[in-house]
Amino acid sequence: MKRTFIAIIAALLVAIPAWFSNANAESNKELALKITPQEQFLGEADAPIEIIEYASMTCPHCAHFHMTVLPEIEKEFIDTGKVKFVTRDLPWDPLAFAVSKINHCSGDNYYQMLGLFMNTQKSWAASKDALKEIKKVARMGGMNSAQVDACLDNEEIHKLVNYSRGTALEILKVKGTPTLFINGEMFVGAPEIDAIREKINSILKNDK
């Protein structure tokens, strides 16, 4: 018998690996904030400013950020070669964990899929048949039902998402989402475009 979707996602949000220890947290912080060659990003690889966002797919504030703030950052700073932007996973619940896995399984369509789920969050996050609604969104991003099922069972993608979650919680001490790190410094305050613009322009001015 096939496992129910509830059973699948309940098994996803597991304990943080034991090797994430407070003793190693400070020494690993700089390493944790390095963008790896394997990570997909928006913008130019050699942009002078790097922004890392930690997000949960069921977080309404994250959906707001992706629908209203990120497009402004793209227009002003990413498309102009000033910012390299990465979204990392910090799922607060099993449903967010599952959707994070689907984003990664979409391959080169990662940011397209992530955007689709953020923009349709209200339709699936509170649905009584979450799997059905999630598969509808995934289909718009190019994944069929069988591919979604296979993704949810993918252990390597599971480890990838859990690693991002553990890094955020245990090493970087992230307390909420969305949380931004701009050139390695945690952004303090509401992540709205005016404040982010001010921070970016300040860095660019000081680098001249």
**Is-contact 59 205, C-beta < 8 A?**
no
pLDDT for residue 1: 34
pLDDT of residue 56: 98
pLDDT number for residue 2: 44
pLDDT for residue 28:
83
**Cβ atoms of 63 and 121 closer than 8 Å:** yes
- Alpha helices (H) in 106-206, listed in sequence order: 110-119, 121-124, 130-140, 145-152, 155-166, 193-206
Mean pLDDT per 10-residue run, the chain (208 residues)?
55 54 65 93 97 98 98 98 98 96 96 98 95 97 97 94 94 96 95 97 88
Helix, coil or strand: residue 185: strand
Q: What pLDDT is recorded for position 96?
A: 96
pTM: 0.90
Tokens representing 19 are 């090797």
- What does the domain layout of the chain look like in residue ranges? 93-177
Question: What are residue 185's DSSP bridge partners?
Answer: 182
